[in-house]
């Protein structure tokens, strides 16, 4: 309970979190399309009308769930200090494991990607959110490269998108049973980051090539 928060407000927030937690679990298990509001309230142990006391629709609830997961991920990323005086390899792996999500979150984000492919309105929101995430990851990569004396061959923003997508692909492959173990995943990420950066020379943390347009999205 937040200090000075009214007991009724605390109970309301607790109920909201119960609904979001139930939705996350069910979306991961059955997918968003197969999920009903009755399923959510039943899983949360609440009466059917409790849902509409907090959310106007399943779509609104899903967006809030993604925002909550995003805030948690950003909080973890904020704890990553790219300037720590540790070797490049250890810092890269620390960032990789910071970007990884648990099984429920991975499946939920996968549902979000599928919805974005089908729904133009949601696609706009999702693209904006992904850009915000890439900016935060790019900041971490910039600190990491600067502290280890490495320079990137593309902008930190482009490198961030690549690392995020690679991490997502690795996790999905592992969940489907075809992605190998954690050691293999770490080797893949290290190869990627080694290939996208160079040791010494120039200003650390800045692109190696003056023109990185080939790496930019259309």
116-121: long-range contacts at Cβ-Cβ below 8 A with a sequence spacing of 24 or more? none
pLDDT, tens digit, for every residue of 72-91?
Answer: 988 888 877 655 667 889 88
Indicate if the pLDDT at residue 114 is higher than 60: yes
Distances (CA, A) of 160 to 154, 169, 194, 215: 10, 14, 14, 12
- Among the three residues 55, 78, 99, which one is the final residue of a domain in this structure? 55
Tokens of 200: 């010494």
- Among the three residues 37, 55, 73, which one is the final residue of a domain in this structure? 55
Domain hosting residue 131, numbered range: 59-215
Phi then psi for residue 152, to 5 deg, are: -90, 155
Do residues 50 and 63 both lie within one domain? Answer: no
Task: Give the pLDDT score at 110.
Answer: 94
Q: What is the 8-class DSSP label of residue 199?
A: E
Determine the Cα–Cα distance for residues 211 and 154; give it in Å rounded to an integer: 8
pLDDT, tens digit, for every residue of 150-181?
Answer: 898 988 899 999 999 999 999 999 888 876 78
The CATH number of whichever domain residue 51 belongs to comes to 1.10.10.60
Tokens of 172: 């999905």
């Amino acid at each position: 309970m937040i200090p000075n928060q009214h007991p009724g407000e605390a109970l309301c927030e607790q109920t909201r979190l119960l609904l979001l937690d139930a939705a996350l679990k069910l979306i991961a298990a059955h997918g968003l399309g197969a999920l009903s509001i009755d399923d959510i309230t039943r899983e949360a142990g609440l009466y059917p009308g409790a849902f509409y006391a907090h959310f106007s629709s399943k779509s609104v609830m899903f967006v809030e769930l993604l925002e909550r997961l995003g805030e948690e991920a950003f909080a973890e990323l904020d704890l990553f200090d790219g300037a720590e005086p540790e070797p490049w390899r250890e810092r890269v792996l620390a960032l990789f494991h910071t970007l990884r999500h648990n099984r429920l979150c991975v499946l939920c984000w996968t549902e979000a990607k599928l919805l974005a492919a089908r729904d133009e309105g949601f696609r706009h929101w999702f693209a904006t959110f992904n850009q915000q995430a890439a900016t935060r990851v790019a900041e971490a990569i910039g600190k990491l490269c600067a502290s280890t004396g490495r320079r990137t061959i593309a902008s930190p923003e482009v490198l961030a998108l690549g690392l995020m997508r690679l991490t997502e692909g690795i996790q999905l492959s592992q969940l489907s049973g075809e992605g190998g173990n954690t050691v293999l995943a770490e080797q893949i990420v290290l190869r990627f980051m080694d290939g996208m950066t160079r040791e010494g020379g120039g200003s650390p943390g800045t692109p190696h090539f003056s023109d990185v347009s080939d790496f930019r999205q259309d």
